Amino acid sequence: MKEELTPLSTEDGLKRLCELTGEGKLKFSSAFGEEDQVITHFIAKNKLPITVFTLDTGRLFQETYDVMDLTRKRYNIEIETYFPETSDVEDLVRKKGFNSFYESVENRKECCFIRKVKPLRRALRDTSVWITGLRAGQSAHRQSFEVLEWDADLNMIKYNPLLNWSYEEMQDFIKANKIPVNSLHKKGFASIGCAPCTRAIAPGEDLRAGRWWWENSQKECGLHETKAAVN
């Protein structure tokens, strides 16, 4: 599968993946970033049998909700939404307060696990291939990724069809196709997550410098930390 999909364009790769995989077995996770919007465009344009879903952590920017609704209307597609378990959030806040993620990397990852990782696992039940909007240029960590990988934690294949796109290539495509994007991008927000954990970046900063900016750690939430190439 890897040898067949890797040389293909993003659009052709998604089409071929649908041909190779049974209907209802493909899911695309969107956080409504620019990369995700490009993939949603391809899915909607070609009416591909790929389920689009998102994780609502409960602490997103209003601008993110705005682009969610705009995307649904523009492409006339359903977007499944998964929330964290109420009891998990209630227990976390009861024990550690509302902003425990600022206190340590461990606390931050605990919050990410509750609000993102656990809902992702629910979202991907009975899924054969998880499609993502990852690009190698987003961070040094992601430069080691493969177009097609095996996610050991989730026990499934992960397909990263935009992995080798440059930032400039992505911007040109968005402009040419008038793809809706989060208005925060125009305010210097390169990578957008939860509101308390995201800031705009300064010129020359790494694209993910605005995520968990108070930490000196790998800028990942736990969704994309394990990977292995597949054949």
Q: Which one from 112, 194, 197, 221 is the annotated catalytic residue?
A: 221
Each as own residue / partner, the long-range contacts of residues 123-128 (CB below 8 Å, 24 or more positions apart, any chain) are 123/27, 123/29, 123/53, 123/55, 123/80, 123/82, 124/27, 124/154, 124/156, 126/24, 126/25, 127/25, 127/26, 127/27, 127/156, 128/21, 128/22, 128/25, 128/26, 128/156, 128/157
- The tokens of 213 are what? 């900016």
The residue assigned the tokens 């989060």 is 182
CA-atom Rg of the chain in angstroms: 17
> How many CB atoms are located within 10 Å of the residue 48 CB?
19
- The tokens of 95 are what? 């024990």
Q: Which residues pair with 184 in a beta bridge?
A: none
Is 18 among the residues known to form the active site?
A: no
Strand boundaries in the chain, DSSP class E: 26-29, 51-55, 80-82, 129-131, 148-151, 156-159, 228-229
**Could you give the residue numbers annotated as active site?**
221
